[in-house]
Structure 1
Amino acid sequence: MNILKKMCVILLGSILLSIGINFFLVPFELLDGGIIGIGLIIKYLTGIKPGLAIILLSVPIFALAWFHNKSYFYNSLHGMLFSSFVIDLLAPSRSILPEFQIPAVFSSILGGIFVGLGIGIMLRHETSTGGTDLLAQFLSKIFKINVGILIFIIDALVICLGGLLLSKETFFLSCVTITVVGLFTSLCTWNIKGSNIKTS
């Protein structure tokens, strides 16, 4: 894929991801899984910008990728940096636009749709926002457990942590969100063979 097309894909994916997070997840303190979810927990508890938190949390994962999986490093670094920047860049627009007067459960679904589409579009064009899948791949080799199961476990732990630190409502609605994210990511990446990049 040429550079211009890849940048357009990253821009579109990042905007969709940012809309899902800023307009539908953040107002109700909802979570996605993986690194994005941990970044949102940090934002809710400390006020630190989630994009900045995602970048800082991703440093050890990308360091690991640099030494053990350079294709993952190159395919994901620009997507992670740009999407994190856009998440923080668009955050102030919540105060400019009228608040969405919708129930939390619908917000969790709509947030999941936007996040899933953003992630899926990038994955379909062989880029991503990075995530915890590299860690899952290494743990899979150590413990001989399917990598998909480990990714699911990591996401579940993030959601459970959010439930403990934030609220039971956060836990249940975030379960809805990650289910919808997974569905729409899968729809976007349907018929792609050999893709093992999963973002969070």
Structure 2
Amino acid sequence: MAPDRRPLSADLARIAVFAALVIVLGTVMVPLPSGVPITGQTLGVMLAGLVLGARRAPLSVLLMLALAAIGLPVLAGGRGGLGAFVGPTAGYMAGWVVGAVVIGLIAHSGRFTWWRAATGSLVGGIIVVYLFGIPVQAAVTGVPLDLTALSTVAFLPGDLIKATLATVLAVALHRAYPRAFPAGVAAPARAVGATPVPAR
């Protein structure tokens, strides 16, 4: 993979755009009795990982979390402040950062394809987030780990829908505007025998 030599200003703009996207998607929220709501923010994390790659995607998530830490209401339900980082959702937020890295690594491990995008979204956007979120939720709420894990079944259908939607949107964007993705990610050939364009 060729090194990505985008200007720093372009990188910062892309990181900020996806941080804003994660924030906006947080306005889509379905409260649950467990205290951990179903939100659209995971969809934003998946899209960030698929489009920005493993280096820039976590920075967009960290930017959003930094805004939350200073008290801005950027988390689902208009929450913000340091209290959110010691609540039942704290592990899921940490999982977003690591998940964004994993999504980017899988999706851009070779030529960008729908199955790499789907695998990245499923592994990084669901499994990794759950691995971080469930133990912290159990510890904060005092509910046994196995029961907490069982309660996450309510999230799974929505997360699978989000992974599917993220894959469809990312693949469509890659076909329409491959320059939005990390340099060196090959765009699909538009015709048989087409000469590949070298990465810049």
Larger-gyration structure (1/2) = 2
Which structure ranks higher in relative contact order (CA pairs < 8 Å, sequence separation ≥ 6)?
1
Q: Same fold (TM over 0.5)?
A: no
| Structure with the larger helix share | 1
Normalization by structure 1: what TM-score?
A: 0.33
Normalization by structure 2: what TM-score?
A: 0.33
